[in-house]
């Protein structure tokens, strides 16, 4: 299973709102994750920085394609734009691919 990681920033004073919105994630976003094969998705925070990690059942390219074509993601991006600063890859529409520099698996 391919792994994927991303980073972003929450605007000053907006972390509680960011968490609240994720606590109430819309069903169409959950369905999009399933269609994209996204699982074991977690988001971590320190200060204003976010680090997200998920695994892709069907590969990162498939996950990026589904997200890029999803009306739910477009709606979510607009909804989050007032509190979130996130860079997007102009080709895939997903967060820029982070280079893995270490992996420990047993």
Annotate 73-106 with b (16+ C-beta within 10 A) or e (fewer).
beebeeebeebbebeeeeebbbbeeeeeeeeeee
Q: Is residue 32 part of a domain?
A: yes
Whether residue 95 has pLDDT greater than 90: no
Q: How confident is residue 97, by pLDDT bands cut at 50, 70 and 90?
A: confident
**How many domains are there within the chain?**
1
Active site (annotated) includes residue 62: no
Domain residues for the domain of 69 are 2-85
What's this model's pTM, rounded to 2 decimal places? Answer: 0.87
Q: Is 45 inside a domain boundary? A: yes
Decide if pLDDT at 48 tops 90: yes
Residue 99 within a domain: no
| Catalytic one of 16, 19, 20, 22 | 22
Q: CATH no. for residue 37? A: 3.30.70.100
Rounded Cα gap, residues 72 and 31, in angstroms: 9
In a domain, 38, yes or no: yes
Within a domain: 93: no
Position 95 in a domain: no
């Amino acid at each position: 299973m391919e792994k994927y990681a991303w980073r972003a920033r929450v605007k000053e004073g907006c972390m509680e709102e960011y968490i609240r919105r994720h606590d109430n994630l819309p069903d169409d976003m959950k369905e999009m994750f399933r269609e994209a094969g996204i699982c074991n998705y977690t988001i971590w925070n320190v200060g204003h920085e976010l680090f997200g990690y998920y695994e892709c059942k069907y590969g990162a390219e498939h996950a990026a394609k589904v997200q890029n074509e999803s009306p739910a993601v477009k709606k979510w991006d607009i909804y989050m734009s007032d509190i979130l600063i996130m860079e997007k890859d102009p080709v895939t529409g997903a967060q820029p691919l982070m280079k893995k520099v270490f992996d420990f698996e047993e």
